[in-house]
Amino acid sequence: MEIITNILYYVIPFLVLLGILVFVHEFGHFIVARMLNVKVVAFSIGFGKVLWSKTDKKGTCWKLSAIPLGGYCQFLGDGDASSATADTAKLSEEDKKVAFSTQSVWKKILIVVAGPLFNYLLAFLLFFALFWSYGKVTFLSYVGEVVPDSAAAEAGIMAGDKILSVNGEETPDFQSLSKAITLTVEDPVVVEVERTGKVKLQAEKIDFVENGVQKENKMIGVRSLPYGKCGENTENTEETEEIKDVPPVLNEVFRNGPAERAGLRNGDLVVSVNDTEIATFGELKEYVESHQDDEFDITYRRHITYNVNLQDKQTKQENGEMRRMLGVKSSPEMTYSEHLGFVEALYSGAKETYDITELTLRGVWQMITGRRGGKDVGGIIRIAEMSGDASKHGGLVGFIYFMALISVNLGLINLFPIPNLDGGNWVVYLIEMVIGRELSPKIKEYMFKFGVLIILAIVVWATWNDITHLIDRLFN
């Protein structure tokens, strides 16, 4: 029974995912080639033994092959499925007009970049469809729960805190918080939070000095933020329009005064007094003066900065993955679901695609510069595992989102300037456009071999990571 369940949740979703992504990628090459009058000899999903094939009226052989780990689009004038240039001398004059190798450089560039761009287009359309059909759920960065023994717990972050930023990067929601933590490779991490608190106090007679004159007044013992020269505005000064406009931030809490004994600190922002909202320091002053004999219940917000060490604070996920985490969970009360209109969904789809691209590029750059290890590099096994987890735990919506995510990564990787990838090909064509002639076959051969070495190294690296991760998941 478990085998059947795993097939339903892992094998089938993986084949569907890979099949759709490969088809879209190769179809991008195919349709642009057709539009530019370049003949497509073969269009294959998969490699190896051909399970099914059919040739259309324009001479393209459509294939479904046994090994579903990729595909190819072969053009007339290609030596093989990898688009190595063949000898065009054997082609007829008519065939030379539609052969890939005889086309202008700009046509070649358009054809090779069409595959990755179609993956980007698919991702954008999937994100758009999800946001337009289901809306967008935003988990605000309020802490609902702190994981015991986590980095957050050790630092002192508490439930109810709002995480404002990580290493200076604003985190208005949990998605941006997760992104900031993912990109963090060094400790300590500077986490800024906003904490809401309540205190109870009563106004008292306080001696103070104003303009060199000793005075006494009944107050709670706080001064406002400076306004104008020398910060002369205080709680007891003559009321002016300027004082009314000052935010209710405590610039100074009087020593041994009611506010200090209650626990208020410099920099606290007063939100309300006795459930009456306070917008300016002038309103706070007026309220205190008109209720001097009352007990005051003051709600305030406080900014706190923590230096958090994530290095040894890893949390085991449902799928068995171990990764650096802050150790906080979102608050169900601080989420909202927003139905997006057509234009808003288009914008959100484009932004989601951009954000994933940015996150991936920053992570790759950290690896290149040695600031991040290579354990995050995954291959086919990891994709199969994650596609199954997405379908099992996230249902159809989770699976579609994951497909869009992988589609972005597939498109981006193929744009990297690595020989034998689409990105490497268009760089070669661009060089040829600049120098005004084709590179010599010898140079292209060396580039081809170099590209093969790079790709093999990445495949071995990713496969090793996948196997060690899978073993850890199965036995730990």
Domain boundaries, the chain: 103-135+342-476, 198-306
CATH homologous superfamily for 198-306? PDZ domain (2.30.42.10)
Could you give the CA distance from residue 437 to residue 448 in angstroms, rounded to a whole number?
19
**Of 391, 330, 352, 332, nearest to 132 (Cα)?**
352
Buried b / exposed e over 132-163, threshold 16 CB at 10 Å, is beebbebbbbbbbebeeebbbbebebeebbbb
Residue 1's pLDDT is: 56
The 10s digit of each residue's pLDDT in 108-151 is 999 999 999 999 999 999 999 999 998 888 889 999 999 888 88
Residue 96 has pLDDT above 60, yes or no: yes
The 10s digit of each residue's pLDDT in 326-335 is 888 888 777 7
Could you give the CA distance from residue 307 to residue 314 in angstroms, rounded to a whole number?
17
Could you give the CA distance from residue 353 to residue 120 in angstroms, rounded to a whole number?
8
Could you give the CA distance from residue 164 to residue 171 in angstroms, rounded to a whole number?
5
**Residue bearing the bigger pLDDT, 8 or 377:** 377
Tell me, yes or no, if the pTM score tops 0.85. no
Say how many residues make up the chain.
476
Residue 385 has pLDDT above 90, yes or no: no
Q: In 135-223, where does DSSP find H-type helix?
A: 151-155, 174-182
Neighbours of 343 (CB within 10 A): 9
Residue 8's pLDDT is: 66
**Of 392, 395, 321, nearest to 10 (Cα)?**
392
Could you give the CA distance from residue 224 to residue 334 in angstroms, rounded to a whole number?
31
Residue 82 has pLDDT above 50, yes or no: no
Residue owning tokens 């459930």? 275
Radius of gyration, alpha carbons of the chain: 31
Beta-bridge mates of residue 197: 300
348 pLDDT band, cuts 50/70/90, is very high
Residue 221's pLDDT is: 84
Which of 23-37, 89-103, 270-284, 396-410 has the weakest average pLDDT? 89-103
